Amino acid sequence: MANAQKRDFAALRAEFPIFHDKVYINSCSYGALSNHVRAAFAAYLDVREEEGSPWQMFVEKLEQARAQFAAQINASPDEVAITTSASQAIGAIASGVRFDQGRDEVLITDYEFPTSGENWFAQEARGARVRIVGVGPSGYILPEDITAALTDKTAVVAATHVCYRNGFRQDVASVTAAARDAGAITVVDGFQCLGTEALDVKAADLDVYVGGATKYMLATAGLCFMYVRKPLIEQITPLITGWFAQSDIFAMDHRKNDFSSTARRFEAGTPPNVNIMAGIAGMDMIDEAGPAEIRRHVVGLNERLKAGVRDLQGRFASPDDPKWHGAMIAIKSTDENALVAALESDGIVTSCRDGNLRISAHLYNNQHDVDAVLAALDKNRSLLA
């Protein structure tokens, strides 16, 4: 499907059966299931039943997924690691950073997903000191807030591309440049961004970028991709490893550890084969729609949503300028759980975090979905903050 002629978004929407019965606008939690991904799950079961243990095929699929993801972000396949989760990916990087060479400080922001903070706090046992950058005078955490917190002791900056609680979209290129000037590397959690816009890691000159297949990549949990800038790869020696991190996967030598010189060194044990097949199918749909077109489509839907919420006198936790928010729009609520339940009773699937209703459009959503959300919010104005 990746090389097929591009279809319009209405045709792509037809690939997602959930829209027969519901308005699904919750990609920030889990991407909707497509017929294409369902077929990939079925293909995995078929090959297991027919061939038993087709390891050669599974390794080929692993490398296909690596190459396909690398192409999406303008990276080399040798700069991409495939793991089972962002936790595993960030953990592999965190475990390999040295904190005994004059730099022991890790800066994280108050926008991090728990996985990021937890992994860096775990490094305190190895000598790390974690500092948290809070919200600045703007009401958000801007690049200059992070830059102001850098010191000559900073080894790592952990930054989220799009915050899962309020949708704030960080200028990760500026953060990475400032951190590098200060002698630090930047690890970006892109889970809430990947699949919603065109990403060029070379143009942005990023160090490490982590993102998974669960949400806007339209596949399933249990699959994560991590880009590591080539000059950094052999500078970081992870303490978490396995046979797929070795220079020769099939050497099967338990008497030594021989890391790959590529980003595979951040991988571990047996890959999640079924999730990889689903991940390829999800990436096919992103490729077919085109990430830049997805961004334009979603921005249009979000502008319609924001205008409607303003008419209802609702308030946002997300910034107003699309430059500073991702695909997710966070609407303030007096009781976010009750509001999610009220929308669900109208057949609208959303989610909430931190006092906010989360509305997250993707390539399969349309204006009718947004209008349905606005009609439901109108019925439940008492739950808008």
**Residues whose CB is less than 8 angstroms from the CB of residue 231 and which lie 6 or more positions away in sequence, other chains included:** none
Report pLDDT for 6: 55
**Residues whose CB is less than 8 angstroms from the CB of residue 292 and which lie 6 or more positions away in sequence, other chains included:** 197, 198
> What does pTM read for this prediction?
0.96
Residue with tokens 């965190």: 94
Based on the fold, state whether residues 138 and 262 are members of the same structural domain.
yes
Based on the fold, state whether residues 190 and 253 are members of the same structural domain.
yes
Report pLDDT for 7: 65
CA gap 18, 154 in Å, rounded: 47
Q: Specify if 373 maps to a domain.
A: yes
Report pLDDT for 3: 41
Based on the fold, state whether residues 172 and 310 are members of the same structural domain.
no
For residue 5, what is the DSSP state? P
Based on the fold, state whether residues 121 and 164 are members of the same structural domain.
yes
Q: Specify if 1 maps to a domain.
A: no
Pick the closest to residue 309 from 347, 356, 344 (CA basis).
Answer: 356
Based on the fold, state whether residues 281 and 303 are members of the same structural domain.
no
Query: Is the Cα dihedral 163, 291, 359, 322 positive or negative?
Result: positive
List the CATH number of the domain containing 104: 3.40.640.10
Based on the fold, state whether residues 165 and 312 are members of the same structural domain.
no
CA gap 135, 245 in Å, rounded: 38
CA gap 104, 100 in Å, rounded: 7
Based on the fold, state whether residues 127 and 235 are members of the same structural domain.
yes
For residue 360, what is the DSSP state? E
Residue ranges of the chain whose pLDDT lies below 70: 1-7
Based on the fold, state whether residues 180 and 281 are members of the same structural domain.
yes
Residue with tokens 């800038």: 229
| Torsion on CA atoms 123, 158, 266, 41, rounded to nearest 10 | 120
Last residue of a domain, one of 226, 256, 286: 286
Based on the fold, state whether residues 221 and 76 are members of the same structural domain.
yes
List the alpha helices (DSSP H) in the chain. Answer: 9-13, 35-51, 55-73, 86-96, 114-122, 143-149, 172-181, 201-204, 230-233, 273-289, 291-311, 336-345, 367-379
Task: Write the single-letter amino acid at 51.
Answer: E
Query: How many structural domains comprise the chain?
Result: 2
CA gap 255, 253 in Å, rounded: 5
Last residue of a domain, one of 254, 269, 286: 286
CA 321 to chain centre: 21
Based on the fold, state whether residues 69 and 98 are members of the same structural domain.
yes
Pick the closest to residue 266 from 240, 235, 229, 230 (CA basis).
Answer: 240
3-state helix, strand and coil shares in percent for the chain, rounded to the nearest 5: 45, 15, 40
Based on the fold, state whether residues 225 and 354 are members of the same structural domain.
no
Last residue of a domain, one of 247, 271, 286: 286
Tens digit of each residue's pLDDT (9 = 90 or more) over 123-175: 999 999 999 999 999 999 999 999 999 999 999 999 999 999 999 999 999 99
Q: Specify if 37 maps to a domain.
A: no
Tens digit of each residue's pLDDT (9 = 90 or more) over 329-368: 999 999 999 999 999 999 999 999 999 999 999 999 999 9
Based on the fold, state whether residues 281 and 309 are members of the same structural domain.
no
Residue 305 belongs to what domain range?
A: 9-32+290-383
How big is the CA angle at 198 (ends 194 and 201), to the nearest 5 degrees?
A: 80
CA gap 45, 68 in Å, rounded: 22
